[in-house]
Amino acid sequence: MSIYRKKKGKDQLKTYMSMDKFPTIEGYDFDKKFDFNEFIEGYKNTGFQASNFGMAVEITKTMLEERKKGKLKLWLSFTGNMISSGNREIIKYLVKNKMVDGIVTTAASLEEDAIKCIKPFHLGKFEIPGKFLSQESIGRIGNILAPMDRYLYFERFFNSFIEMLSKKFDVVPSTYEFANEMGKYIAEHNLTRKSHNDSFLFWAAENNIPVFCPGVTDGAIGDLLTFVKKRNPKFSIDIARDNLTLTSMLMNADKTGCIILGGGISKHFLLNSAIFREGFEYSVYITTAAEYDGSDSGGNQEEAISWDKIKANALRVKVVADATLIFPLLVAAIANGNR
């Protein structure tokens, strides 16, 4: 057996490193009275991704403590499907309560945040045939159903917003200015103002939290901007100014931390900007993407360290899990601790 070795014809037990000081693997004891804090704390010693989630909770709590002392700026990055899902309300909670200092996201986040102030999305199934949904004018985002009439309403909102924006700016707006103005306009337009308090963009504008959107021409916004540009060839959005602004904000912070949900352009734009300060001091990834194909979405934190996007001595963890499962639990752990 592997624990034995041969010595002069006899089997002797191999020497091995003592495990006595290592944490013991154990799960939560549901026979005793349930305690949420102990339940969350128990994730650390469960093993596998549960232990990574336990680390994510600890790191996030540390980031928030540093932030309260004025020593850290916390950044949140997420893909558009987070706003498609119920994570929109979780993100709104963080923004409304000023628990983050900046956001990087995608065009889908902006448009769907406004759309949901008009009409909701609905729960379906992953298995619904695309042909049937197309015939019924319903788009599918995983198992979330987005009826196409939502985008007709959004077109009315957006065209009115662009008309206002074109009159307001003498210079070309950046995407964070674009998002800031959209957040304000959600509170004003007749289609969205009734539910504007549900909008993370509104609260970001209200609390002066910048929202960067490097892929602003993607999604329905990109479709509609095609017609905007055709009507007004002079209309533009200054994406390069986003780089200058974001890198300046990161460079001028004592310490920085990031929570990154998913991957794509929002993840890369934020991490790439951190190169100018030689990386984040804290980093939490929550994603289902793997690193084996070399994609940035799946890239682990060792890869980010090689590019100076995360510091080598950073407190960091990657949780391989669906963010709709893990992120609400993470925020619940934080919110419960703040009560």
3-state helix, strand, coil in the chain (%, to 5): 50, 20, 30
Class of domain 69-119+153-337: alpha beta
pLDDT tens, per residue, the chain with 339 residues: 566 665 665 666 677 788 889 999 999 999 999 999 999 999 999 999 999 999 999 999 999 999 999 999 999 999 999 999 999 999 999 999 999 999 999 999 999 999 999 999 999 999 999 999 999 999 999 999 999 999 999 999 999 999 999 888 878 899 999 999 999 999 999 999 999 999 999 999 999 999 999 999 989 999 999 999 999 998 999 999 999 999 999 999 999 999 999 999 999 999 999 999 999 999 999 999 999 999 989 999 999 999 999 999 999 999 999 999 999 999 999 997 555
The tokens for 37 are 């804090």
- 120 Cβ neighbours under 8 A, 6+ residues apart: none
Burial 264-291, CB ≥16 within 10 A → b, else e: bbbbbbbbbbbeebebbbbbbbbbebee
Catalytic residue among 92, 116, 267, 309: 309
| pLDDT at site 6 | 59
CB 186 within 8 A of CB 117: yes
The tokens for 245 are 């602004």
- 146 Cβ neighbours under 8 A, 6+ residues apart: 84, 112, 115, 121, 138, 139, 140
**Half-sphere exposure of residue 262: CA atoms within 13 angstroms, side-chain side:** 17
| pLDDT at site 10 | 63
Residue of 318, 264, 321, 266 lying closest to 288 (CA atoms) = 321
Check if 309 is active-site. Answer: yes
Domain boundaries, the chain: 69-119+153-337
| pLDDT at site 252 | 94
CB count within 10 Å of CB 152 equals: 11
| pLDDT at site 169 | 81
| pLDDT at site 58 | 97
Identify the helix (H) or strand (E) that includes residue 209.
none
pTM of the model: 0.94
